[in-house]
Chains A and B, each alone.
Chain A
Protein backbone atom coordinates (compact mmCIF):
# COMPACT_ATOMS: atom_id res chain seq x y z
CA UNK A 1 0.00 0.00 0.00
CA UNK A 2 1.83 3.07 -1.27
CA UNK A 3 -1.15 5.44 -1.05
CA UNK A 4 -1.89 7.46 2.05
CA UNK A 5 -5.52 7.16 3.19
CA UNK A 6 -5.15 10.31 5.24
CA UNK A 7 -4.44 12.34 2.12
CA UNK A 8 -7.96 11.83 0.81
CA UNK A 9 -11.28 13.18 1.96
CA UNK A 10 -14.39 11.13 1.30
CA UNK A 11 -18.08 11.73 1.79
CA UNK A 12 -20.99 9.35 1.40
CA UNK A 13 -24.09 11.57 1.32
CA UNK A 14 -26.29 8.58 0.49
CA UNK A 15 -28.64 10.18 -2.03
CA UNK A 16 -28.45 11.52 -5.56
CA UNK A 17 -29.47 15.14 -4.94
CA UNK A 18 -26.84 15.55 -2.22
CA UNK A 19 -24.19 14.26 -4.62
CA UNK A 20 -25.36 16.67 -7.36
CA UNK A 21 -25.26 19.54 -4.87
CA UNK A 22 -21.66 18.73 -3.97
CA UNK A 23 -20.70 18.61 -7.65
CA UNK A 24 -22.50 21.88 -8.36
CA UNK A 25 -21.00 23.73 -5.39
CA UNK A 26 -17.45 22.95 -6.42
CA UNK A 27 -17.35 21.73 -10.05
CA UNK A 28 -14.37 19.48 -10.72
CA UNK A 29 -13.43 19.30 -7.06
CA UNK A 30 -15.12 16.00 -6.20
CA UNK A 31 -14.43 12.66 -7.86
CA UNK A 32 -17.32 10.20 -7.71
CA UNK A 33 -16.34 6.68 -6.63
CA UNK A 34 -18.67 3.70 -6.96
CA UNK A 35 -17.25 0.18 -6.63
CA UNK A 36 -13.66 1.39 -6.55
CA UNK A 37 -12.29 -1.25 -8.90
CA UNK A 38 -10.30 1.40 -10.76
CA UNK A 39 -9.76 4.20 -8.26
CA UNK A 40 -8.75 1.94 -5.37
CA UNK A 41 -6.11 0.31 -7.56
CA UNK A 42 -4.66 3.76 -8.23
CA UNK A 43 -4.96 4.53 -4.51
CA UNK A 44 -2.98 1.43 -3.50
CA UNK A 45 -0.28 2.33 -6.00
CA UNK A 46 -0.03 5.86 -4.61
CA UNK A 47 -1.16 7.48 -7.85
CA UNK A 48 -4.72 8.53 -7.01
CA UNK A 49 -4.78 12.22 -7.86
CA UNK A 50 -8.29 12.88 -6.58
CA UNK A 51 -8.14 14.47 -3.13
CA UNK A 52 -11.89 14.64 -2.48
CA UNK A 53 -14.11 11.69 -3.26
CA UNK A 54 -17.85 11.29 -3.07
CA UNK A 55 -19.19 7.78 -2.73
CA UNK A 56 -21.99 6.55 -5.01
CA UNK A 57 -22.03 3.09 -3.43
CA UNK A 58 -25.37 2.31 -1.85
CA UNK A 59 -27.30 5.12 -3.57
CA UNK A 60 -30.46 3.31 -4.63
CA UNK A 61 -31.51 5.94 -7.18
CA UNK A 62 -28.42 5.00 -9.21
CA UNK A 63 -28.63 1.23 -8.91
CA UNK A 64 -31.54 0.00 -11.01
CA UNK A 65 -32.39 -1.86 -14.18
CA UNK A 66 -35.75 -0.87 -15.70
CA UNK A 67 -37.07 -3.10 -18.42
CA UNK A 68 -39.62 -1.32 -20.62
CA UNK A 69 -41.41 -2.30 -23.81
CA UNK A 70 -38.88 -0.65 -26.10
CA UNK A 71 -35.97 0.33 -23.83
CA UNK A 72 -33.89 -1.12 -21.04
CA UNK A 73 -32.52 1.57 -18.72
CA UNK A 74 -29.60 0.80 -16.46
CA UNK A 75 -28.58 3.00 -13.54
CA UNK A 76 -24.94 4.06 -13.53
CA UNK A 77 -24.27 2.25 -10.25
CA UNK A 78 -25.76 -1.07 -11.36
CA UNK A 79 -23.00 -3.64 -10.98
CA UNK A 80 -21.99 -6.14 -13.62
CA UNK A 81 -23.33 -8.81 -11.29
CA UNK A 82 -26.71 -7.01 -11.46
CA UNK A 83 -26.47 -7.04 -15.26
CA UNK A 84 -25.59 -10.74 -15.39
CA UNK A 85 -28.47 -11.63 -13.07
CA UNK A 86 -31.08 -9.73 -15.09
CA UNK A 87 -33.28 -11.96 -17.24
CA UNK A 88 -34.30 -9.11 -19.58
CA UNK A 89 -30.70 -8.26 -20.38
CA UNK A 90 -29.83 -11.91 -20.98
CA UNK A 91 -32.80 -12.30 -23.34
CA UNK A 92 -32.84 -8.96 -25.13
CA UNK A 93 -29.30 -7.61 -24.94
CA UNK A 94 -27.20 -10.76 -25.24
CA UNK A 95 -24.06 -8.88 -26.25
CA UNK A 96 -24.20 -6.80 -23.08
CA UNK A 97 -24.80 -9.90 -20.95
CA UNK A 98 -21.76 -11.51 -22.57
CA UNK A 99 -19.62 -8.41 -21.99
CA UNK A 100 -20.69 -8.31 -18.34
CA UNK A 101 -19.43 -11.86 -17.89
CA UNK A 102 -15.98 -10.71 -19.10
CA UNK A 103 -15.50 -8.13 -16.35
CA UNK A 104 -12.74 -9.47 -14.10
CA UNK A 105 -13.73 -12.02 -11.47
CA UNK A 106 -16.90 -12.60 -9.47
CA UNK A 107 -15.51 -10.27 -6.79
CA UNK A 108 -14.87 -7.57 -9.41
CA UNK A 109 -18.34 -8.03 -10.91
CA UNK A 110 -20.02 -7.55 -7.54
CA UNK A 111 -18.40 -4.10 -7.22
CA UNK A 112 -17.64 -2.79 -10.70
CA UNK A 113 -20.43 -0.64 -12.14
CA UNK A 114 -21.56 0.06 -15.69
CA UNK A 115 -21.21 3.81 -15.14
CA UNK A 116 -17.71 3.38 -13.75
CA UNK A 117 -16.66 1.33 -16.77
CA UNK A 118 -17.77 4.15 -19.09
CA UNK A 119 -16.55 7.15 -17.11
CA UNK A 120 -13.17 5.50 -16.58
CA UNK A 121 -12.93 5.54 -20.36
CA UNK A 122 -10.41 2.79 -20.96
CA UNK A 123 -9.97 2.15 -24.71
CA UNK A 124 -10.30 -1.54 -23.78
CA UNK A 125 -13.52 -1.21 -21.74
CA UNK A 126 -15.47 -4.46 -21.92
CA UNK A 127 -19.00 -3.04 -21.96
CA UNK A 128 -18.37 -0.38 -24.61
CA UNK A 129 -18.44 -2.23 -27.95
CA UNK A 130 -21.81 -3.84 -27.12
CA UNK A 131 -23.33 -0.51 -26.04
CA UNK A 132 -22.07 1.15 -29.23
CA UNK A 133 -23.67 -1.35 -31.59
CA UNK A 134 -26.93 -1.21 -29.61
CA UNK A 135 -27.18 2.59 -30.11
CA UNK A 136 -27.09 3.21 -26.35
CA UNK A 137 -27.79 6.68 -24.99
CA UNK A 138 -26.13 8.20 -21.96
CA UNK A 139 -28.14 10.28 -19.51
CA UNK A 140 -26.10 12.91 -17.68
CA UNK A 141 -27.50 14.67 -14.65
CA UNK A 142 -26.68 17.83 -12.76
CA UNK A 143 -28.59 20.35 -10.67
CA UNK A 144 -29.23 22.12 -13.98
CA UNK A 145 -31.24 19.14 -15.19
CA UNK A 146 -30.59 16.07 -17.27
CA UNK A 147 -29.58 15.58 -20.87
CA UNK A 148 -29.14 12.62 -23.15
CA UNK A 149 -26.39 12.07 -25.66
CA UNK A 150 -25.64 9.14 -27.95
CA UNK A 151 -23.01 6.90 -26.34
CA UNK A 152 -21.07 7.10 -29.62
CA UNK A 153 -20.33 10.76 -28.83
CA UNK A 154 -19.62 10.29 -25.10
CA UNK A 155 -15.89 9.57 -25.42
CA UNK A 156 -14.03 12.52 -26.92
CA UNK A 157 -10.39 11.45 -26.53
CA UNK A 158 -8.13 9.22 -24.49
CA UNK A 159 -9.78 9.14 -21.04
CA UNK A 160 -11.79 12.22 -21.96
CA UNK A 161 -15.56 12.48 -22.24
CA UNK A 162 -18.41 14.88 -22.91
CA UNK A 163 -19.40 15.33 -19.25
CA UNK A 164 -19.36 18.80 -17.70
CA UNK A 165 -17.61 19.21 -14.35
CA UNK A 166 -20.90 19.34 -12.41
CA UNK A 167 -22.47 16.36 -14.19
CA UNK A 168 -22.88 12.79 -13.06
CA UNK A 169 -23.51 9.83 -15.33
CA UNK A 170 -27.01 8.84 -14.27
CA UNK A 171 -28.12 6.05 -16.58
CA UNK A 172 -27.62 4.19 -19.84
CA UNK A 173 -30.68 3.73 -22.04
CA UNK A 174 -30.64 0.96 -24.63
CA UNK A 175 -33.32 0.71 -27.31
CA UNK A 176 -34.67 -2.78 -27.94
CA UNK A 177 -34.79 -2.65 -31.70
CA UNK A 178 -32.09 -5.15 -32.62
CA UNK A 179 -33.98 -8.41 -32.15
CA UNK A 180 -33.98 -9.10 -35.90
CA UNK A 181 -30.33 -8.16 -36.29
CA UNK A 182 -27.50 -10.63 -36.42
CA UNK A 183 -25.41 -9.80 -33.32
CA UNK A 184 -21.74 -10.44 -32.75
CA UNK A 185 -19.23 -9.80 -29.96
CA UNK A 186 -15.84 -11.32 -29.45
CA UNK A 187 -12.89 -10.39 -27.30
CA UNK A 188 -9.33 -11.51 -27.78
CA UNK A 189 -7.05 -11.32 -24.75
CA UNK A 190 -4.05 -13.16 -23.40
CA UNK A 191 -6.30 -15.79 -21.85
CA UNK A 192 -10.00 -16.50 -21.69
CA UNK A 193 -10.74 -15.10 -18.22
CA UNK A 194 -9.52 -12.15 -16.20
CA UNK A 195 -7.61 -10.56 -19.06
CA UNK A 196 -7.84 -7.08 -20.50
CA UNK A 197 -8.65 -7.06 -24.22
CA UNK A 198 -5.97 -6.91 -26.85
CA UNK A 199 -8.90 -6.23 -29.14
CA UNK A 200 -12.67 -6.65 -29.03
CA UNK A 201 -15.19 -6.25 -31.83
CA UNK A 202 -18.97 -5.96 -31.77
CA UNK A 203 -21.41 -5.77 -34.63
CA UNK A 204 -25.12 -5.77 -35.35
CA UNK A 205 -26.55 -6.04 -38.85
CA UNK A 206 -29.93 -6.39 -40.46
CA UNK A 207 -30.07 -8.20 -43.79
CA UNK A 208 -33.05 -7.62 -46.06
CA UNK A 209 -33.39 -9.20 -49.50
CA UNK A 210 -29.82 -10.42 -49.32
CA UNK A 211 -28.37 -6.94 -48.74
CA UNK A 212 -27.16 -5.23 -45.58
CA UNK A 213 -29.91 -2.77 -44.70
CA UNK A 214 -28.43 -1.66 -41.37
CA UNK A 215 -25.04 -2.26 -39.83
CA UNK A 216 -23.09 -1.12 -36.80
CA UNK A 217 -19.50 -2.11 -36.01
CA UNK A 218 -17.59 -1.03 -32.90
CA UNK A 219 -14.24 -1.94 -31.44
CA UNK A 220 -12.24 -1.68 -28.23
CA UNK A 221 -8.49 -1.11 -28.17
CA UNK A 222 -8.49 0.04 -31.81
CA UNK A 223 -8.52 3.80 -31.11
CA UNK A 224 -7.82 6.10 -28.13
CA UNK A 225 -11.34 5.27 -26.91
CA UNK A 226 -13.98 2.64 -27.70
CA UNK A 227 -15.59 3.74 -30.96
CA UNK A 228 -17.86 2.89 -33.85
CA UNK A 229 -16.07 2.16 -37.10
CA UNK A 230 -18.24 4.38 -39.28
CA UNK A 231 -16.17 4.09 -42.45
CA UNK A 232 -16.15 0.32 -42.21
CA UNK A 233 -19.92 0.43 -41.76
CA UNK A 234 -20.24 2.58 -44.90
CA UNK A 235 -18.27 0.01 -46.86
CA UNK A 236 -20.82 -2.62 -45.83
CA UNK A 237 -24.09 -0.74 -46.00
CA UNK A 238 -26.36 -1.70 -48.90
CA UNK A 239 -23.95 -4.36 -50.13
CA UNK A 240 -24.92 -7.92 -50.95
CA UNK A 241 -23.56 -10.44 -48.49
CA UNK A 242 -21.11 -12.32 -50.70
CA UNK A 243 -17.50 -13.37 -50.45
CA UNK A 244 -16.10 -10.33 -52.30
CA UNK A 245 -17.54 -8.18 -49.54
CA UNK A 246 -15.18 -9.71 -47.01
CA UNK A 247 -12.08 -8.34 -48.73
CA UNK A 248 -13.64 -4.89 -49.06
CA UNK A 249 -14.64 -4.93 -45.39
CA UNK A 250 -11.18 -5.98 -44.21
CA UNK A 251 -9.64 -3.24 -46.29
CA UNK A 252 -12.00 -0.61 -44.89
CA UNK A 253 -11.32 -1.69 -41.31
CA UNK A 254 -7.54 -1.70 -41.79
CA UNK A 255 -7.74 1.82 -43.25
CA UNK A 256 -9.92 3.12 -40.45
CA UNK A 257 -8.51 1.54 -37.29
CA UNK A 258 -5.73 3.30 -35.39
CA UNK A 259 -4.52 0.91 -32.70
CA UNK A 260 -1.23 1.38 -30.88
CA UNK A 261 1.63 -0.77 -29.62
CA UNK A 262 1.44 -1.15 -25.85
CA UNK A 263 2.17 -3.64 -23.09
CA UNK A 264 -0.72 -5.88 -24.13
CA UNK A 265 -0.22 -6.15 -27.86
CA UNK A 266 0.99 -4.49 -31.03
CA UNK A 267 -0.86 -2.32 -33.52
CA UNK A 268 -0.14 -4.80 -36.30
CA UNK A 269 -1.53 -7.77 -34.36
CA UNK A 270 -4.61 -5.83 -33.29
CA UNK A 271 -5.39 -4.78 -36.85
CA UNK A 272 -5.06 -8.28 -38.19
CA UNK A 273 -7.17 -9.81 -35.42
CA UNK A 274 -9.86 -7.13 -35.73
CA UNK A 275 -10.08 -7.80 -39.46
CA UNK A 276 -10.37 -11.52 -38.73
CA UNK A 277 -13.18 -10.88 -36.26
CA UNK A 278 -15.04 -8.77 -38.81
CA UNK A 279 -14.59 -11.54 -41.36
CA UNK A 280 -15.96 -14.07 -38.87
CA UNK A 281 -19.03 -11.88 -38.37
CA UNK A 282 -19.60 -11.50 -42.11
CA UNK A 283 -19.32 -15.25 -42.61
CA UNK A 284 -21.95 -15.75 -39.92
CA UNK A 285 -24.10 -13.22 -41.71
CA UNK A 286 -23.61 -15.00 -45.03
CA UNK A 287 -24.66 -18.33 -43.60
CA UNK A 288 -27.95 -16.71 -42.62
CA UNK A 289 -28.73 -15.43 -46.08
CA UNK A 290 -30.44 -18.06 -48.22
CA UNK A 291 -28.60 -18.76 -51.46
CA UNK A 292 -30.45 -17.71 -54.55
Chain B
Protein backbone atom coordinates (compact mmCIF):
# COMPACT_ATOMS: atom_id res chain seq x y z
CA UNK B 1 0.00 0.00 0.00
CA UNK B 2 2.72 2.48 0.96
CA UNK B 3 4.37 2.35 -2.45
CA UNK B 4 1.03 3.05 -4.13
CA UNK B 5 0.89 6.83 -4.14
CA UNK B 6 -0.64 8.24 -7.29
CA UNK B 7 0.18 11.83 -8.13
CA UNK B 8 -2.37 14.29 -6.78
CA UNK B 9 -2.53 17.59 -8.63
CA UNK B 10 -3.84 20.89 -7.34
CA UNK B 11 -3.03 24.57 -7.20
CA UNK B 12 -1.77 26.26 -4.07
CA UNK B 13 -1.76 30.05 -4.05
CA UNK B 14 -1.97 30.01 -7.83
CA UNK B 15 0.96 27.60 -8.31
CA UNK B 16 0.40 24.20 -9.85
CA UNK B 17 1.80 21.30 -7.87
CA UNK B 18 1.80 17.52 -7.86
CA UNK B 19 2.47 15.42 -4.79
CA UNK B 20 2.96 11.68 -4.42
CA UNK B 21 1.38 10.95 -1.05
CA UNK B 22 -1.03 8.37 0.38
CA UNK B 23 -4.57 9.47 -0.54
CA UNK B 24 -5.58 9.57 3.13
CA UNK B 25 -2.74 11.90 4.09
CA UNK B 26 -4.30 15.04 5.53
CA UNK B 27 -4.14 18.15 3.36
CA UNK B 28 -2.69 19.89 6.44
CA UNK B 29 0.29 17.52 6.45
CA UNK B 30 0.72 17.73 2.67
CA UNK B 31 0.92 21.52 2.91
CA UNK B 32 3.36 21.51 5.80
CA UNK B 33 5.52 18.46 5.10
CA UNK B 34 5.48 18.06 1.33
CA UNK B 35 5.09 21.67 0.23
CA UNK B 36 6.84 23.26 3.25
CA UNK B 37 4.03 25.77 3.67
CA UNK B 38 4.22 25.88 7.45
CA UNK B 39 2.02 28.96 7.87
CA UNK B 40 -0.97 26.63 8.26
CA UNK B 41 -0.97 25.33 11.85
CA UNK B 42 -2.29 22.23 13.52
CA UNK B 43 -4.31 22.85 16.66
CA UNK B 44 -6.80 20.21 17.72
CA UNK B 45 -6.58 18.00 14.64
CA UNK B 46 -10.31 17.32 14.80
CA UNK B 47 -12.01 20.26 13.11
CA UNK B 48 -12.90 22.13 16.29
CA UNK B 49 -10.34 24.93 16.51
CA UNK B 50 -9.81 26.30 13.00
CA UNK B 51 -6.01 26.70 13.27
CA UNK B 52 -5.56 24.75 10.04
CA UNK B 53 -8.18 26.73 8.05
CA UNK B 54 -7.43 27.17 4.36
CA UNK B 55 -9.67 28.04 1.44
CA UNK B 56 -10.43 25.30 -1.07
CA UNK B 57 -12.30 26.27 -4.25
CA UNK B 58 -13.49 29.44 -2.55
CA UNK B 59 -14.79 27.71 0.58
CA UNK B 60 -13.33 27.66 4.05
CA UNK B 61 -12.19 24.19 5.16
CA UNK B 62 -10.28 22.66 8.02
CA UNK B 63 -7.27 21.17 6.23
CA UNK B 64 -6.89 18.56 9.00
CA UNK B 65 -10.17 17.00 7.81
CA UNK B 66 -9.43 16.93 4.07
CA UNK B 67 -7.85 13.76 2.70
CA UNK B 68 -5.23 14.64 0.08
CA UNK B 69 -7.07 12.80 -2.69
CA UNK B 70 -10.10 15.08 -2.26
CA UNK B 71 -7.87 18.06 -3.09
CA UNK B 72 -7.32 16.69 -6.60
CA UNK B 73 -7.93 19.52 -9.06
CA UNK B 74 -8.68 22.01 -6.31
CA UNK B 75 -7.63 25.60 -5.99
CA UNK B 76 -6.20 26.09 -2.52
CA UNK B 77 -5.31 29.32 -0.78
CA UNK B 78 -3.20 29.34 2.38
CA UNK B 79 -2.03 32.20 4.56
CA UNK B 80 1.12 32.38 2.43
CA UNK B 81 -1.09 33.43 -0.47
CA UNK B 82 -2.49 36.54 1.20
CA UNK B 83 0.38 39.02 0.79
CA UNK B 84 1.27 40.04 -2.76
CA UNK B 85 4.74 41.19 -3.81
CA UNK B 86 5.78 41.86 -0.25
CA UNK B 87 2.71 43.96 0.51
CA UNK B 88 0.52 42.72 3.32
CA UNK B 89 -3.10 41.87 2.64
CA UNK B 90 -5.40 44.52 4.21
CA UNK B 91 -6.50 41.95 6.78
CA UNK B 92 -2.92 41.22 7.79
CA UNK B 93 -2.26 44.94 8.13
CA UNK B 94 -5.42 45.35 10.19
CA UNK B 95 -4.33 42.54 12.53
CA UNK B 96 -1.01 44.37 13.03
CA UNK B 97 -2.64 47.76 13.50
CA UNK B 98 -5.32 46.54 15.90
CA UNK B 99 -3.27 44.07 17.94
CA UNK B 100 -5.19 41.11 16.51
CA UNK B 101 -2.31 38.67 17.03
CA UNK B 102 -0.88 37.59 20.37
CA UNK B 103 0.93 34.24 20.47
CA UNK B 104 0.12 33.84 16.79
CA UNK B 105 -0.85 30.19 16.46
CA UNK B 106 -4.49 30.90 15.64
CA UNK B 107 -3.64 33.88 13.41
CA UNK B 108 -3.26 32.12 10.04
CA UNK B 109 -6.61 30.37 10.54
CA UNK B 110 -8.25 33.59 11.72
CA UNK B 111 -6.93 35.35 8.63
CA UNK B 112 -8.27 32.67 6.31
CA UNK B 113 -11.69 32.59 7.98
CA UNK B 114 -11.80 36.39 7.82
CA UNK B 115 -10.74 36.33 4.16
CA UNK B 116 -13.59 33.93 3.48
CA UNK B 117 -16.06 36.15 5.32
CA UNK B 118 -14.97 39.34 3.53
CA UNK B 119 -15.13 37.54 0.16
CA UNK B 120 -18.87 37.09 0.57
CA UNK B 121 -19.63 40.06 2.84
CA UNK B 122 -17.28 43.01 2.36
CA UNK B 123 -18.67 45.00 5.29
CA UNK B 124 -19.72 42.58 8.00
CA UNK B 125 -21.30 43.62 11.28
CA UNK B 126 -19.80 42.51 14.58
CA UNK B 127 -22.39 39.73 14.77
CA UNK B 128 -21.46 38.50 11.31
CA UNK B 129 -17.75 38.58 12.20
CA UNK B 130 -18.46 36.57 15.33
CA UNK B 131 -20.33 33.95 13.33
CA UNK B 132 -17.75 33.88 10.53
CA UNK B 133 -14.97 33.24 13.06
CA UNK B 134 -16.96 30.98 15.39
CA UNK B 135 -14.92 27.95 14.37
CA UNK B 136 -11.58 29.59 15.13
CA UNK B 137 -10.39 29.49 18.70
CA UNK B 138 -7.84 31.91 20.17
CA UNK B 139 -6.15 30.34 23.16
CA UNK B 140 -4.91 33.76 24.31
CA UNK B 141 -8.61 34.77 24.34
CA UNK B 142 -7.84 37.86 22.26
CA UNK B 143 -11.17 37.69 20.47
CA UNK B 144 -12.16 41.33 20.92
CA UNK B 145 -9.09 42.64 19.11
CA UNK B 146 -9.40 39.97 16.44
CA UNK B 147 -12.99 41.02 15.77
CA UNK B 148 -11.88 44.69 15.73
CA UNK B 149 -9.17 43.83 13.19
CA UNK B 150 -11.67 42.18 10.85
CA UNK B 151 -14.14 45.04 11.26
CA UNK B 152 -11.34 47.50 10.48
CA UNK B 153 -10.39 45.61 7.32
CA UNK B 154 -14.05 45.48 6.38
CA UNK B 155 -14.51 49.22 6.58
CA UNK B 156 -11.21 50.08 4.89
CA UNK B 157 -12.56 50.02 1.35
CA UNK B 158 -15.19 52.61 2.27
CA UNK B 159 -17.57 52.66 5.20
CA UNK B 160 -20.66 50.48 4.89
CA UNK B 161 -22.86 53.56 4.64
CA UNK B 162 -20.69 55.03 1.86
CA UNK B 163 -20.86 51.69 0.12
CA UNK B 164 -24.62 51.49 0.41
CA UNK B 165 -24.86 55.04 -0.93
CA UNK B 166 -22.66 54.04 -3.85
CA UNK B 167 -24.83 50.96 -4.48
CA UNK B 168 -27.96 53.07 -4.43
CA UNK B 169 -26.69 55.36 -7.19
Contact = CB atoms under 8 A, between A and B. Distances in A.
Nearest to B136: A105
A55 B135 contact: no
Interface string A107-128: 1101100000000000000000
Interface stretch (B56-64, B82-90, B151-159): B56-64
B2 A6 contact: yes
Contacts of A69: none
Contacts of B23: 5, 8-12
Contacts of A41: 46-47, 65
Interface residues on B, range: 35 or more
Contact of A107 (B25, B53, B67): B53
Interface in A101-155: 104-108, 110-111
Contacts, number: 106
Nearest to B23: A10
Interface stretch (A32-40, A60-68, A168-176, A220-228): A32-40
A107 B50 contact: yes
Contacts of B21: 5
A131 to B, nearest CB: 23
A105 B50 contact: yes
B91 to A, nearest CB: 16
A33 B143 CA distance: 34
B61 to A, nearest CB: 5
A141 B46 CA distance: 30
A87 interface: no
Range of interface residues on A (Cβ < 8 Å): 20 to 34
A212 interface: no
Contacts of A11: 23
Interface string B65-83: 1111110110000000000
A1 B1 contact: no
B116 interface: yes
A59 to B, nearest CB: 11
A179 interface: no
Interface string B19-62: 00111111001000000000000100111101001000001111
A44 interface: yes
B134 interface: yes
Contacts of B59: 81, 110-111
Interface string A1-41: 10101111111100000000000000000000101110011
B70 to A, nearest CB: 5
Interface in A70-97: 81
Contacts of A193: 131, 134
Contact of B47 (A5, A6, A7, A40): A40
10 contacts: A6-B22, A8-B24, A37-B65, A43-B67, A45-B46, A53-B24, A105-B134, A107-B47, A107-B50, A107-B53
Q: Which 9 interchain pairs have the tightest Cβ spacing?
A: A105-B135, A10-B23, A5-B22, A110-B59, A40-B65, A5-B25, A8-B24, A5-B24, A6-B2
Given A1-B29, A7-B1, A105-B135, 11 more contacts: A6-B1, A6-B2, A6-B22, A9-B1, A12-B69, A12-B72, A106-B60, A106-B131, A108-B47, A111-B61, A111-B66
